[in-house]
Amino acid sequence: MGKVRQRLADLREALSVGTMLCIGAFLLSACAGWLLNGSVYAHVAEYCGIAREVSTLFSAGLFLVLFFVASRKPEALDRRIMAVVSLGSLITALLVLSFALKLEDGPSTVLGFLFLNIGSVWAASLLALALASLPSPLAMTLAVVCGMPLGEVAVALLPMPSFEVGLIAITACDALMIALLYRGSAPALDRLTGSASAADLELANPESFLRPTHALFVCAFVFSVATGYELTLNEVAHAPVSSDLVSVVLVGVALWMLLGSQNDGKEDTLFSFSVLLVIAGFLVAPFTFDSGLPSANALQRIGVDSFKMLTLLVVLSVGRRNVFALLPTFTLVRCMMALGTDVGAVAGHTSNDLASANAQAAALIAAISLFAFIAFLWIGFRKFSFADTIRGVANVNADAGASEARDSFADSGAGASAEASIEERCAQLGAEGGLTERETEIFAMLARGRNGQYVMDHYVISRNTVKSHVKHIYAKLGVHSQQELIDLVERYE
């Protein structure tokens, strides 16, 4: 009991205005998603069902664009400009969709969804930035594990409105999210836009960023196939079936995350829990085709929501270790989730169409989906660990450039004497570490605070060649980031 009391005291201390705003944003996000699927998409399915999948593809494409901008040209993400663009897009979406939904016009509906996604994608990104800007990891965890389950509780209690009211509520929720998080996201966003790009920082700090081929992104895609399948399986009047059990179990997961034992393997335990529930949902699905019971949907919804909670915590933990990796990692995860949702939705729609005429074919789709899910996990994720993913990201300091290097070698003298000291130490360390002549030269550049772009321009070599050289240098010297390399040279006698 003593540990529980101490934990509660820590949680009370972590609860701040910023934390409450993030929890409120989760509630708004949950309501917007629930209204979109249950009200607006349900109406659109009556005259242009493909528009739902196209809208999800728009979301994936926008997250991918944001990934490239955040990675290569972050200064373009000016806070004021993005707020104006996103709010303007939401207003445009409201006007276009108001007429398109009433007139049941497919092309106009697709256009309206494009504008709607611009606003919702930026609102989701602001939430990630605001969470990463909270003062402590505990405050961040509190906001996530309280906000997501409370969102499920809220939508379980609300009545489903007409599509006209639903559309207004969706745009209002996204706009309110942007307004609530505008200031809270400023610390992380301003630091991101005011420094070198993630692509440049990655050259000198390869272990501070997750590669696009990292297992986390593949895992996000695979789990989101279950999301799309669950949303469409046995849908009623083109709307997802619901179960109050989902919110109850997620509240239990939140309590376990907050009050349970604080060991390093909690992330992997939650992942195993998510996997088992998704598998159970696929197994139960064929038995619900005739009855329409929401058991398969509930199992998979709990599993994928637990996985979403886990994934967001992992992304935010990566962002706290390296804020410059936050937005690229978050946007690529969300892109993969949107793509996976579309694939799963197609499988779910196909199952629904076949269930009444050919139940065996519908059951075969569930079996194939289950086999693919288990195969991906068995082949690609047997040794994967979310906890190791977090620990494997090295801290990076974008200011660990020339100023840091100059300060580090203040004792070596000024001007040429300081440069000579760096060169001598790097030459000796390079010889001891078995560096080649070219690697020793690049080592000295990094020790003086030069970034990867400088090395590319100096030698006129490709980005991949620089990354390869830096990787070999770090491996031979036993360091993980440019700051560790500078510290190594500074301490060398």
* Same domain, yes or no: 190 and 253: yes
* Same domain, yes or no: 65 and 97: yes
Model confidence at 491: pLDDT above 70: yes
CATH assignment of the domain containing 427 = 3.40.50.2300
> Percent of the chain scored above 70 by pLDDT?
94
Lowest mean pLDDT segment, chosen from 88-97, 158-167, 209-218: 209-218
**Residue that terminates a domain, selected from 366, 391, 416:** 391
CA 300 to chain centre: 20
CA distances from 44 to 95, 160, 432, 448 (A): 16, 15, 67, 59
Residue 2 is assigned to a structural domain of this protein? no
* Same domain, yes or no: 179 and 298: yes
pLDDT of amino acid 188? 93
CATH assignment of the domain containing 153 = 1.20.1250.20
Per-residue pLDDT tens over the stretch 273-325? 999 999 999 999 998 887 778 899 999 999 999 999 999 999 999 998 889 99
H or E element that contains 217: helix 215-232
Residue 378 is assigned to a structural domain of this protein? yes
* Same domain, yes or no: 376 and 433: no
> Percent of the chain scored above 90 by pLDDT?
54
Lowest mean pLDDT segment, chosen from 104-113, 312-321, 379-388, 415-424: 415-424
* Same domain, yes or no: 261 and 184: yes
Residue 175 is assigned to a structural domain of this protein? yes
Model confidence at 41: pLDDT above 80: yes
* Same domain, yes or no: 386 and 407: no
Residue 134 is assigned to a structural domain of this protein? yes
Average predicted confidence (pLDDT) for the chain: 88
- CA–CA separation, 36 and 249 (whole Å): 23
Most confident of 173-177, 433-437, 451-455: 173-177
Average pLDDT over residues 399-421: 49
* Same domain, yes or no: 286 and 185: yes
Helices 215-232 & 359-380 angle (0-180, nearest 10): 160
* Same domain, yes or no: 472 and 353: no
Positive or negative CA dihedral for 99, 102, 108, 114? Answer: positive
Residue 420 — very low, low, confident or very high, per pLDDT cuts 50/70/90?
low
Average pLDDT over residues 157-181: 96
Residue 397 is assigned to a structural domain of this protein? no
* Same domain, yes or no: 233 and 108: yes
* Same domain, yes or no: 357 and 449: no
Token readout for 322 is 């390296």
* Same domain, yes or no: 155 and 61: yes
Question: Is the separation of the CB atoms in 58 and 120 below 8 Å?
Answer: no
**Residue that terminates a domain, selected from 391, 423, 438:** 391
Residue 401 — very low, low, confident or very high, per pLDDT cuts 50/70/90?
very low
- CA–CA separation, 15 and 12 (whole Å): 5
Model confidence at 399: pLDDT above 70: no
Residue 412 — very low, low, confident or very high, per pLDDT cuts 50/70/90?
very low
Question: Is the separation of the CB atoms in 148 and 301 below 8 Å?
Answer: no
pTM of the model: 0.89
pLDDT of amino acid 417? 53
**Residue that terminates a domain, selected from 350, 365, 391:** 391
Residue 289 is given by DSSP the state T
Lowest mean pLDDT segment, chosen from 272-276, 371-375, 412-416: 412-416
Per-residue pLDDT tens over the stretch 96-129? 999 999 999 999 999 999 999 999 999 999 999 9
pLDDT of amino acid 415? 47
To 5 degrees, how large is the angle CA 52–CA 56–CA 57?
115
Lowest mean pLDDT segment, chosen from 331-335, 410-414, 430-434: 410-414
CA 90 to chain centre: 22
Model confidence at 357: pLDDT above 90: no
- CA–CA separation, 418 and 410 (whole Å): 7
* Same domain, yes or no: 345 and 430: no
Of residues 236, 103, 90, 227, the one with CA closest to residue 167: 90
Per-residue pLDDT tens over the stretch 60-86? 999 999 999 999 999 999 999 999 999
Residue 197 is assigned to a structural domain of this protein? yes
pLDDT of amino acid 30? 96
Of residues 304, 385, 379, the one with CA closest to residue 340: 304
Residue 390 — very low, low, confident or very high, per pLDDT cuts 50/70/90?
confident
Residue 9 — very low, low, confident or very high, per pLDDT cuts 50/70/90?
confident
Query: What residue numbers bound the domain in which 314 lies?
Result: 15-391
Residue 10 is assigned to a structural domain of this protein? no
- CA–CA separation, 305 and 109 (whole Å): 28
Residue 290 is assigned to a structural domain of this protein? yes
Model confidence at 143: pLDDT above 80: yes
Looking at the structure of the chain, the number of domains it has is 2
